[in-house]
Structure 1
Amino acid sequence: MTIERTFDLLENLRQNHNRPDVLVAKREGQWIKFSAEDYSRTAKRFSYGLMSKGFKKGDKIATISNNRPEWNMVDMGMSMLGVVHVPIYPTLGEEEFKYILQHSDARMLLVSDKALYNKLKPIVDELENLTFIFTFNFYEDIPHWGEITRIGENARVKCKDELKAIRDQISPDDLVSIIYTSGTTGMPKGVMLSHRNFISNVMATSSLYPLNPGDRILSFLPLCHVFERMVNYLFQYKGCSVHYAESIGTLSQNMVEIQANAFATVPRVIERIYDRIVSKGEDLTGLKRLIFFQALKLGEKYRVNGKHHFWYGFRLKLARKLVFSKWQKAFGGQLRFVVSGGAALQPRLSRLFFAAGIPLLEGYGLTETSPVIAVNHLSKPDSLYIGTVGPVLNNVEVKIDEDGEILVKGPNVMLGYYKAPEATEEVIDKDGWFHTGDIGRFVKDKFLKITDRKKEMFKTSSGKYIAPQMIENMLKESFFIEQVMVVGENEKFASALLLPNFEYLHGWAHDHRIHFRDNRELITLPKVLKKFQKEVDTYNRQLGKHEQIKRFRLVFEDWTANTGELSPTLKLRRRTLYKKYAHVLREIYAYSEGEENRGKHKFEE
């Protein structure tokens, strides 16, 4: 069948992959399966229920929820009626919730649980346009989304023909969703995406990966994240069985339980997984410990497209048997590949996972491009290059502007920003090219390499440009460093805030008989500072003189999305970090109180 709109995926699933487990969730310790028929029937009931409540094409409904089968059911129910889905991150603050709910003109809000209901009900009561709020979980004293599907079932006979007529009139270019960018500064912008935007991306990526009907996928990135949303559609198109993880904390357990074949992720999750693997290696002793870390060193030299000499191949075979086989077992034993997006992936991690027999493939895109622009894949021998984000999709055009900015044109480019025509004109020029704000270049005339964000690059006082993301990613290759922010705009030299990998640092401190009361004290100890200086010096040797980190300071508080230092997509919120560590940055650059504007760091914004 022809697939042009998101809800066509549902009919394709019902007709061609009518499996009993297309969507699966864990409830009270048991994996509960939903068939293609269950999915389709409930989505239609939701549409009928919305029609009965007076919803029509162009109306907006917001969801704030964890990943679950019901999210898909309401998503498809909205799309076949022409209602616009506004998915929102559950981790936002009240100010952002209120802004999005008001700005989007949402008439209904669906939330996952009682805690979110209680948090958002006062906001809903303030907003005139927002008249309904329901929960997905059942509570006796709170409106449940099942009320809508029950109304829909009762109205099925009356609404069936009308819904079909509405569906038939929906164009691929109609608005299907508004996704508010997580943003690292200021309030988010509403990205308007059409059916064609999503479906063009699904079709362009569908032949790139070895996905088969019935393959088990673990989904844990938020479905309000455009990357997870698109691959969720892709998995459904391929007839896979999508299992929704209970939480980030249960990933390993859930992966083993379902024996996952693939999953999509962001680099931060891979970094955390790798940190746990290394910490287990640190617990080993004697020969086992030596073999473990020798295997890691060997893996870092893995070349996907190059030929390894016999001695390397022999040692890799041994490392896979003694060390890397345990990695595969930890992922459930059936993992065929992982796709990473949302931020820059350390090439070292990709090499290590390939060495372990688990292809870790990096891609690139933005919310505004639905999202994939380029991605490494496995369909051809020359479709992969570690350290790049891969070849550009075959239905997308990319060119590099004079200043190095990546420009994109294609059916995946957004309709525009909601209620913001001027902001839209700033990023989509008169010739239809979308200006990504990322700086990049082509490697071997084929593979796109991202070097930094245009807005995040800065000049030192000597006029030399510094690309902080590249340096930050390099420093994070150290076992000792979990997070980094490079600073130095309009200063004589670059500096960095370093958040240690405390799990690894504690092991090192124990081995070196370093005693400390807590992390606050640990980062001040001379032996620790000397060790971090040695780590920074190692990476400085790989950098140009003007890029080298001349000074650094260690910090001890976690940087998370919940506490605001990271965006919901786990990118650095630089403005927040500048403000939080203004006193530290003043010390680095020897400012006195009130003198910090000399460096234009926006310390107190």
Structure 2
Amino acid sequence: MFKAIPEIFFEIAEKFSNNTALLYKKEGVYFPITYKEFAEKVKIFGGALSALGVQKGDKVAILSENRPEWVISDLSVMAIGAVVVPLHTTFNSKAVCNVLNHSQAKILIVSNSSLLNKVLVGQKKLKNLKKIIFLENLTATQKEGFSNKVLSWKAIFSQNQKNGFEKIFLDPDDCCSIVYTSGTTGKPKGVVLSHRNFLSNVEAINEIVPVKENDVFLSFLPLSHILERTIGYYVPICYGAKIAYSEGVKQLQANLKEIKPTVMISVPRVFEKFHDAIWDKINSSPAIQKRIFKWALKQNKNTFTYKIANFLVLKKVRAKLGGKLRLTISGGASLNENIGKFFYKIGVLILEGYGLTETSPVISANREYDFKFGTVGKIIPGVKIKITESKEVLVKGPNVFGGYFRDKKESKDCFDKDGWFYTGDLGFLDKQGFLTIIGRGKEMIVTSGGKNVWPEPIENLLSSDRFISQAMVVGNGRKFISALIVPDWQEIEIYLKEQNLPLKEHDQLLKDPMILDIFQKRIDEKINPNLQDYEKIKKFKLLPQEFSQEQDELTTTLKLRRHIIEKHYSRGIEKMYE
């Protein structure tokens, strides 16, 4: 695809003009937008932005949850040669203003009042920002706070209905977006990406996992994150498929049943929650139902007994996920191998992949008919990797970015002299060509005894336990490994009821000797036997609440932000080492 993203989109919109492109929910009902209507809206808004003085190369930021206006804005900005700067809705006010300033954004498109208020707090420091386009109605305070800076999305559309849209030449190698990494280890950096970066990835993904015209994608991961943007948005619109917008993670199960998607892009944490919810229901069922479910999981595919198991059990479980998922794609963090195998047994294939914002994002992925659980698949077409002696994964290809915005030193340092990009991830290839990622080099724990410990495999092992919701391993520069553990309170309560034991407040249970003994026993019997002596968990601390994005403890793809979590629980960590 040696074209620009809007060019491909307009061609597809013409080819599939009457097909539904987008579905959005309003007042409890899903409404469709056809490819023809979608293209018209892009042209109108593109013309409106030009009328506001947006020129080629100008930066336009988007701060919004997933909705049709996000993708209309994205394509409109690109169509006039400007540069899209997506902002994570989980960013606090300071981070939002920092990115707006660093990117030199002239226009900001904002969806709702709570997000607009993040800008209101620091607007005096926003030197480059000229106009804000707001998708909702302004409150009196906001009108007063922003004076004449804020324009209404509806008004812009009604005023520009008849304005012409001027097509301009778009070079595939032009920068079309600056994506700020959410960062697990440091401050966000602006990744400069071109049309060619994105489209080379789109083409490679479609080659290994072909998109069908009748595919329905359910979009719930933030579009500000590159995983959802490339695979959950550019891939479907470049091949005439349909995208339905979820109302959010909390409404995901209801939306799955309504939309009945065929493809879903997700992160491991979401699959873990579905897995736990299924087992919670099974564990609270009568003994006969438990036995039937466990029997169904043991049946081999393509056998007569599997057909019976599918009819009696598995089909009903899949119905909870809409019933039509032909595949799901997992990225953003490491997927527990047992979770992948469980879903495969119930008839839902999870294809795990690997990539970075800097690689647009996919580097490797499992295929529909060529996959291996526990790996991130084979390298995608057109991309090359090599593994250094220190096991770092280096990558080259048309998907690799051109550098970091306004950061020449970092841009130079992240490539070797031959143009290979340092991913910062360590891994290895097996004989069949499947890539396994061990972890990020910066996240490796080195004990005071000089032993190297990879936290992620241990955390996956812990999180697979019935009583553990989340876990983070610590021990850098210490004598031994310890763990911060978030209990699965629902499972704890079920257990207490089963044992006819009194229910208590979570704060009380955290210190209860019996509960602490249960966790110690599970670590000793189920976790530590799978670990080397120097990896074994010697001490642990139970936490009252889950790690969250609101507390800045998780990235947009729900990866642990270790330095923040360590800071929040520093006192508890120190006590484990006293």
Give the superposition deviation at 1:217. 1.4
Matched residues in 2 for 1:172 and 1:149: separation? 28
> Which residue does the alignment assign to 2:357?
367
Partner SS state of residue 511, structure 2: coil
Residue 274, structure 1, aligned to residue 261, structure 2: no
* Contact 1:3–1:9 (CA under 8 A) maintained in structure 2: no
Give the superposition deviation at 1:119. 3.1
> Which residue does the alignment assign to 1:539?
527
Q: Residues 317 and 501 (structure 1 numbering): CA distance in 2 closer, same or farther, change over 3 Å?
A: farther
The residue type paired with residue 376 of structure 2 is V
> Which residue does the alignment assign to 1:387?
374
> Which residue does the alignment assign to 1:453?
440
* Contact 1:191–1:367 (CA under 8 A) maintained in structure 2: yes
Partner SS state of residue 223, structure 1: coil
> Which residue does the alignment assign to 2:52?
53
Partner SS state of residue 486, structure 1: strand
Q: Give unpaired runs (5+ residues) of structure 2.
A: 144-149
Matched residues in 1 for 2:434 and 2:116: separation? 46
> Which residue does the alignment assign to 2:348?
358
> Which residue does the alignment assign to 2:264?
263
The residue type paired with residue 390 of structure 1 is G
Matched residues in 2 for 1:119 and 1:584: separation? 32
> Which residue does the alignment assign to 1:245?
246
Q: Which stretch has the larger CA shift, 282-291 or 392-401? A: 282-291
The residue type paired with residue 291 of structure 1 is I
Partner SS state of residue 574, structure 2: helix
> Which residue does the alignment assign to 1:594?
none
Matched residues in 1 for 2:536 and 2:77: separation? 52
The residue type paired with residue 247 of structure 1 is G
> Which residue does the alignment assign to 2:461?
474
Give the superposition deviation at 1:295. 4.8
> Which residue does the alignment assign to 1:219?
219
Residue 10, structure 1, aligned to residue 9, structure 2: yes
Matched residues in 2 for 1:431 and 1:138: separation? 53
Matched residues in 2 for 1:345 and 1:368: separation? 21
* Contact 1:17–1:213 (CA under 8 A) maintained in structure 2: no
> Which residue does the alignment assign to 2:183?
183
> Which residue does the alignment assign to 2:514?
527
Find 2:421's aligned residue among 426, 431, 434. 434
> Which residue does the alignment assign to 2:102?
103
> Which residue does the alignment assign to 1:551?
539
Find 1:153's aligned residue among 149, 161, 176. 161
Deviations 1:117-171 (A, max 9, x none): 2332342343121011122234586631233334443431xxx4xx32x2x2x21
Partner SS state of residue 450, structure 2: coil
Matched residues in 2 for 1:176 and 1:152: separation? 24
Q: Any residues of structure 2 matched to 1:58-457 within 5 Å, and which? A: 58-138=57-137, 143-156=151-164, 160=165, 163-164=166-167, 166=168, 168=169, 170-231=170-231, 232-293=233-294, 295=296, 298=298, 316-378=306-368, 381=369, 383-457=370-444
> Which residue does the alignment assign to 2:26?
27
Matched residues in 1 for 2:444 and 2:121: separation? 41
Q: Which stretch has the larger CA shift, 202-211 or 36-45? A: 202-211
* Contact 2:14–2:36 (CA under 8 A) maintained in structure 1: no
> Which residue does the alignment assign to 1:573?
561
The residue type paired with residue 251 of structure 2 is T
How many residues were matched structurally?
567
> Which residue does the alignment assign to 1:498?
485
Matched residues in 1 for 2:492 and 2:503: separation? 12
Give the superposition deviation at 1:401. 0.8
The residue type paired with residue 502 of structure 2 is H
* Contact 2:427–2:439 (CA under 8 A) maintained in structure 1: yes
The residue type paired with residue 439 of structure 2 is D
Identity in percent: 38
Give the superposition deviation at 1:293. 4.6
Matched residues in 1 for 2:552 and 2:73: separation? 30
Deviations 1:239-275 (A, max 9, x none): 1110001121111111111211111001111111112
Matched residues in 1 for 2:157 and 2:449: separation? 64
Give the superposition deviation at 1:236. 1.0
The residue type paired with residue 476 of structure 1 is S
* Contact 2:208–2:380 (CA under 8 A) maintained in structure 1: no
Partner SS state of residue 207, structure 2: coil
Matched residues in 2 for 1:217 and 1:563: separation? 30
Partner SS state of residue 276, structure 1: helix
The residue type paired with residue 338 of structure 1 is T
The residue type paired with residue 149 of structure 1 is F
Give the superposition deviation at 1:452. 1.0
Residue 465, structure 1, aligned to residue 455, structure 2: no
Matched residues in 1 for 2:258 and 2:377: separation? 32
Matched residues in 1 for 2:448 and 2:308: separation? 51
* Contact 1:49–1:150 (CA under 8 A) maintained in structure 2: no
The residue type paired with residue 358 of structure 2 is E
Q: Residues 126 and 491 (structure 1 numbering): CA distance in 2 closer, same or farther, change over 3 Å?
A: closer
* Contact 2:253–2:321 (CA under 8 A) maintained in structure 1: yes
Q: Give unpaired runs (5+ residues) of structure 1.
A: 300-307, 591-605
Matched residues in 1 for 2:542 and 2:25: separation? 40
Give the superposition deviation at 1:398. 0.7
Q: Residues 105 and 280 (structure 1 numbering): CA distance in 2 closer, same or farther, change over 3 Å?
A: same
Give the superposition deviation at 1:514. 2.6
Give the superposition deviation at 1:315. 5.9
The residue type paired with residue 429 of structure 2 is F
Give the superposition deviation at 1:321. 3.4
* Contact 1:107–1:129 (CA under 8 A) maintained in structure 2: yes
The residue type paired with residue 542 of structure 2 is L
Partner SS state of residue 378, structure 2: coil
Deviations 1:548-572 (A, max 9, x none): 1111121112211012221222111
Q: Residues 469 and 147 (structure 1 numbering): CA distance in 2 closer, same or farther, change over 3 Å?
A: same
The residue type paired with residue 462 of structure 2 is L
Give the superposition deviation at 1:445. 4.1
Matched residues in 2 for 1:18 and 1:179: separation? 30
* Contact 1:456–1:468 (CA under 8 A) maintained in structure 2: yes
TM-score, with structure 1 as normaliser? 0.90
The RMSD of aligned alpha carbons is: 1.9
Q: Residues 128 and 337 (structure 1 numbering): CA distance in 2 closer, same or farther, change over 3 Å?
A: same
> Which residue does the alignment assign to 2:147?
none
* Contact 2:25–2:245 (CA under 8 A) maintained in structure 1: yes
Q: Residues 454 and 316 (structure 1 numbering): CA distance in 2 closer, same or farther, change over 3 Å?
A: farther
Partner SS state of residue 221, structure 1: coil
Deviations 1:516-551 (A, max 9, x none): 421111122222222212221212111111111111
* Contact 1:48–1:151 (CA under 8 A) maintained in structure 2: no
